[in-house]
Amino acid sequence: MITYALCVTTEGSGFIGAWTAGLAFGIHLRRTSADQGIHTQDSDPAQNTRFTERLGLLLASLSFLVFGAVILGPTLQHLTWRTVVYALLSLTILRMLPVALALAGTGLRTASVAYIGWFGPRGLASLVFGLLALEEHLPGETLLSEVIGVTVGLSILLHGASAPFLGNRYGEWFTRTLRVEPNLRENALAHEDAPR
């Protein structure tokens, strides 16, 4: 909150300031725990950040509530087929292709790349980037807010509806493939990201 207020007061981006402060806090928390050589449950960074993670989920949920009440309603009144087509392209090709290119050379299987591409950066990121653009008072603000509104609305609907089915299918694929290939790259990544 302090970082956000300071950035806005100095005509900077509050969103970027808050993100940077959160990143610095996480790094400091990990380094402090590591430097002290404390490995108890109380000093575990995952335990220490549990509250902030839950608070983040609550605030994200509130953001989507406000989004639905303030942005999506008016956007749907002026909906055009072009906006819907662009939103669908944004959720598929325009997002999944860059994710696939970014993951090229990682050794991940096609199923993993497709899963990450589909469930990768979702609606809240679009809202934040849209707000950053709207802060700059760019031309076409109305069209920009309509496209963001429809894209985020479709993201909530499509990703939410497909999550149980695709999550189960990916889990089944992972289990089957791991039995045949114990050195699966996805399995190594899962162990690397495990809390210490």
- Whether 93 maps to a domain, the answer reads yes
Within the chain, how many helices (H) and strands (E) appear?
A: 11, 0
**Residue type at position 35:** D
Give residue 192's pLDDT band: very low, low, confident or very high (50, 70, 90): low
pLDDT, tens digit (0-9, with 9 covering 90-100), for 96-129: 999 999 999 999 999 999 999 998 766 667 777 7
Report how far residue 130's alpha carbon sits from residue 142's, in angstroms, rounded to the nearest whole number.
11
Is 101 within the bounds of a domain? yes
CA 132 from chain center: how many Å?
A: 16
User: Does the residue 126 lie in any domain?
Assistant: yes
In a domain, 97, yes or no: yes
Sign of CA dihedral 63, 68, 73, 75: positive
In a domain, 53, yes or no: no
Together in a domain, 94 and 184: yes
Range of the domain at 175: 59-192
- Identify whether residues 115 and 44 lie together within a single domain: no
- Is 32 contained in some domain? yes
| pLDDT 10s digits, 116-162 | 999 876 666 777 777 777 777 888 888 888 888 888 888 888 988 99
**Taking each helix axis from N to C terminus, what angle separates 141-180 and 123-135, rounded to the nearest 10 degrees?**
150
d(C-alpha 177, C-alpha 195), whole Å? 24
Q: SS in 3 state form for 34-81?
A: HHHCCCCHHHCHHHHCHHHHHHHHHHHHHHHHHHHHHHHHHHHHCCCH
Residue 54 resides in a domain: no
pLDDT, tens digit, for every residue of 22-36? 778 877 877 776 666
In the predicted structure, residue 176 carries a pLDDT above the cut 90: yes
Tokens 């008072």 belong to: 137
**What's the structural domain count of the chain?**
2
Amino acid at 94: L
